[in-house]
A and B are shown apart, each in its own frame.
Chain A
Amino acid sequence: MSYHVNEKGFYGQFGGAYVPEMLYPNVEELRQNYLRIIQEPDFQEELQLLLKDYVGRPTPLYFAPRLSEKYNTKVYLKREDLNHTGAHKINNTIGQVLLAKRLGKKRIIAETGAGQHGVATATVCALMGLECIVYMGEVDIERQAPNVARMKMLGAQVVPATSGSKTLKDATNEAIRDWINNPEDTYYIIGSVVGPHPYPDMVARFQAVISEEMRAQLLEKEGTENPKYVIACVGGGSNAAGAFYHYLDEPNVELIAVEAAGKGIDSGESAATSILGKDGIIHGSRTLLMQTEDGQVTEPYSISAGLDYPGVGPLHAHLFVSGRAKFMNATDEEALQAVLELTRLEGIIPALESAHALAVLNRLGAKPEEIVVINLSGRGDKDLSTYLKHFHFDEQ
C-alpha cells in the first residue's frame, strides 16, 4: 500500500481539492509548480542554509534518562521545541515563504490555533519583508496571549475570527475567504497537513526534515535508523507527518498518533477525530471530520488550541483507516500531568500540544530494550499561564 499522495492528490480515499472555482486558479498554480520549485537546486540551497543558520537545525535528538528510567524503556525526545520561534512550525513557513517569493506573491496570509504557526509565519515575513495577516479565533487570541504579542511585535496584523467556535477551524475559514478575495497577489501559508491538494503533501515534505534527522541521529547513537515507536500529537497533523514521513514505508516502526480527548471521548467536549469523525469534506479536503448526522461541522474541544480542530490531515485519515498508524488519545488532565512530569524529570517545559504525545508513554507497553522517539513539537512558554493556574503555582 502507498502512503504517499497520488497524482490526483489523494491518499487512498482521502484528500483532493474540493475548492470553489474562485480558488481554483490559485490552487492549480501551486499544484503545477510546487514540486518543480522545491526541487530546484537554488531553492534547496537557500532553504537548507536558513534551516541551519536561522532555524537552528538539526535539532537535537535527546536521550531522556529519567523519563526512560521511569517507564523502563529507551525514550528519546526530538527537540523541535528548540527551533527558532519554539516549535516545528517554522520548518514549513520557511519553505512556503521561499515558494511564495518565487511565485511573485507580495502578501502572506495564515491561520493559527495556538499561535505557533502564526508566529512562525510572522517571523519569516519579517525576514523576507513581506506583508503578513494572521487569522486567529477570538477564543485562541485570549488563551494564547503571548503568541499574539509576538506576532504584533513582528509586524503582523492579527485578525480575530469571530464566527462558529472562534477557534482554529474558523480562523481557517477566514483565511480561505481572504484568499478568495485576494487571488492574485496573496499567498496562503497553511500551517498543517490540511487543506486542498497540494498543501497536505507540500507541508509534509517541509516537515519531513524531522524524521530525516531522526534517522541519521539514531544511526549515530543506537546503530540503527529505526526506533520501535515514533509518537507525535495530531491536531491537523503537521508535526506527526514530519516525524512519520521517512518511516511510512518501514513496517517495523510503529507510528503512534495521539489525539486530544479533551474532557473525555464521550464527554461531548473532545477533538479525537479518528474516533468521533467520519468521512467528509472540510477546508477543501476529503478526510475524517467531526460532524452531525446532517453533515454540519461540529465544534471540537481541547485545552490545547493547536489540537482543537474537527478534522485531521488526509494523510492521517489514510494512516488510520489503513491501520498503518495507531491512534491513541490523551485527555486535558493527562496532558497537564505529562507537562509537569517532563518538567520535573528532565527540566523541559513542553507545549500543551506536545504533552499529549508524552501522555501515552505509560500505556505504550514498550519493552526495556526498545527505542521510543517522541516528537517534542514545541515548548511551553505560551502555555505558562494555563500551567500556573492549573497547578496553583500562581498562589504560592
Chain B
Amino acid sequence: MNNRIKNLFANKPKGLLSVYFTAGFPSLNDTETVILELEKNGVDLIEVGMPFSDPLADGPTIQQSSTVALRNGMTIPKLFEQLQGIRQKTDIPLVLMGYLNPVMQYGVERFCQKAGEIGIDGIILPDLPLREYVDEYKAIFEKYNLSKVFLITPQTPEERIREIDSHTNGFIYMVSSASTTGKTLGLAEQSQAYFQRVASMKLQNPGVIGFGIHDNETFASACNHASGAIIGSAFVKALQQEGSLQENISTFIKSIKH
C-alpha cells in the first residue's frame, strides 16, 4: 500500500476531509495554489480532477468546470508539468481523478510511471471497469506504487464489494446514493442503511463517502458512518465566488469543519 495514504488512515481513522477540484479551473495555473491552500486549511486528502470533454458520472458543476479547464488549455502533460516538484512543498496524499480515454491516449503505463515519479499516491478512473483493471492494468499500477481507488454504490452487491476490496489498496470510495456528482439532497435514510451494511462487512480498506456532501451537516453525518467524506461540486462552486482563491478556499473549508 502507498505509504502516504496508509499513514493518513492510520493516524486519522475518523473525520477525514477529502476535497476534489478540477485542475485548470478557475485558471490554468491555479493547481499548486489550490493544493497548498487546501493543505494549509486542514484538508487531509486531495483529489486532482483531470478534465474530460464528456464526464458521464458528473453533474453540471463539474461538467462546467471541466469545460472551462479544457478551454484554459489543461491537458495531462500540462498537469504533470504543474505537479513536478510538488513533493518538495507538501506531503499531503494526492489522488488523480479522471476518465479513462485521456489516460489511454497518453498511455496507461507512461501515465502511471509519470504519476509515480511525481509522487502521486492514487488514481480514480470511474469508467475503468474492475475486470479490465485486474486483467490488464493492475500490475502496472502496483509497479508504480499507485493505489487504484474504486467506487461502490448502494446498488453494489456484497460479493462485488468484497471483490473490489480484494483488488484495491488505499480506500474505497462510497458513492452515497444513485446519482451523478453535485446533487444536494442530503443523505437519505436508505443511504444510512447502506453505510451501516458496508461498515459491518469489516473490509480491509477504509471507506470514504462522496457525492452529495456539501456542507457541515452532510460532512458530519458522513463521518459518522465512514473514515471520512469527499467534497467536490460544492468546493468547485465555492471557487467561483468573488474574492481571492485563498479567501474562498479558507471560507469554504471553515464552513465544513466548524
Contact = CB atoms under 8 A, between A and B. Distances in A.
- Bound together: yes
Interface size class of B (residues with CB under 8 A): 35 or more
B59 A19 contact: no
B57 to A, nearest CB: 4
Contacts of B151: 20-22
Given A19-B127, A183-B155, A173 B56 contact: yes
Interface stretch (B81-89, B100-108, B226-234): B100-108
B76 A18 contact: no
Interface stretch (A117-125, A148-156, A279-287): A279-287
Interface string B60-87: 0001000100100001110000000000
B70 A296 contact: yes
Interface of A: 16-22, 24-25, 163-164, 169, 173, 176-177, 180-184, 279-284, 289, 291, 293-297
Nearest to A178: B180
A18 B128 contact: yes
A297 B54 contact: yes
B52 interface: yes
B155 A25 contact: yes
A16 to B, nearest CB: 7
A96 B103 CA distance: 34
A182 to B, nearest CB: 7
B178 A21 contact: no
B126 interface: yes
B73 to A, nearest CB: 10
A180 B180 contact: yes
B56 A20 contact: yes
A38 to B, nearest CB: 24
A18 B67 CA distance: 22
Contacts of B16: none
Given A296-B53, A296-B70, 5 more contacts: A20-B57, A176-B56, A180-B56, A184-B155, A283-B56
A367 B102 CA distance: 46
A176 B180 CA distance: 10
Contact of A17 (B52, B104, B129, B155): B129
B156 A25 contact: yes
A180 B178 CA distance: 6
Contact of A22 (B99, B103, B129, B178): B178
B152 interface: yes
Given A25-B156, A297-B53, A20 B104 contact: no
Contact of B179 (A21, A176, A181, A281): A181
Contacts of A291: 101, 105
A289 B126 CA distance: 19
A280 B179 CA distance: 25
Contacts of B104: 279-281, 295
Contacts of A164: 53-54
A170 to B, nearest CB: 8
Contacts of B152: 21
Contacts of A22: 57, 126, 151, 153, 155, 175, 178-180
Contacts of A283: 56
A282 B101 contact: yes
A17 B59 CA distance: 21
Contacts of A182: 178
Nearest to A299: B53
B155 A281 contact: no
B122 to A, nearest CB: 16
A169 B151 CA distance: 25
B132 interface: yes
B245 to A, nearest CB: 25
Contacts of A169: 54
A22 B127 CA distance: 10
A216 B59 CA distance: 49
A294 B75 contact: yes
B150 interface: yes
A295 B105 contact: yes
Contacts of B160: 24
Contacts of A280: 101, 104-105
Interface in B121-160: 126-129, 132, 150-153, 155-157, 160
Nearest to A17: B129
Interface string B178-190: 1110010000000
A55 to B, nearest CB: 32
Most buried by A among B59, B126, B152, B157: B126
A72 B24 CA distance: 59
Contacts of A293: 105
B81 to A, nearest CB: 13
A21 B102 contact: no
A16 B57 contact: no
10 contacts: A21-B150, A180-B56, A180-B178, A181-B179, A183-B178, A184-B155, A284-B127, A295-B106, A296-B52, A297-B101
Nearest to A294: B75
A21 B126 contact: yes
Contact of A294 (B67, B105, B155): B105
A180 B177 CA distance: 10
Residue from the set A164, A279, A296 with the largest chain B CB neighbour count within 10 Å: A296
A295 B101 contact: yes
Contacts of B153: 21-22, 25, 183
A181 B105 CA distance: 29
A126 B116 CA distance: 55
Contacts of A173: 54, 56
Contacts of B129: 16-19, 24
Q: Across chains A and B, which 9 residue pairs bring their CB atoms closest together, nearest first?
A: A295-B105, A295-B102, A20-B126, A296-B53, A21-B151, A25-B155, A20-B57, A294-B75, A295-B101
Interface string B6-44: 000000000000000000000000000000000000000
Contacts of A279: 104
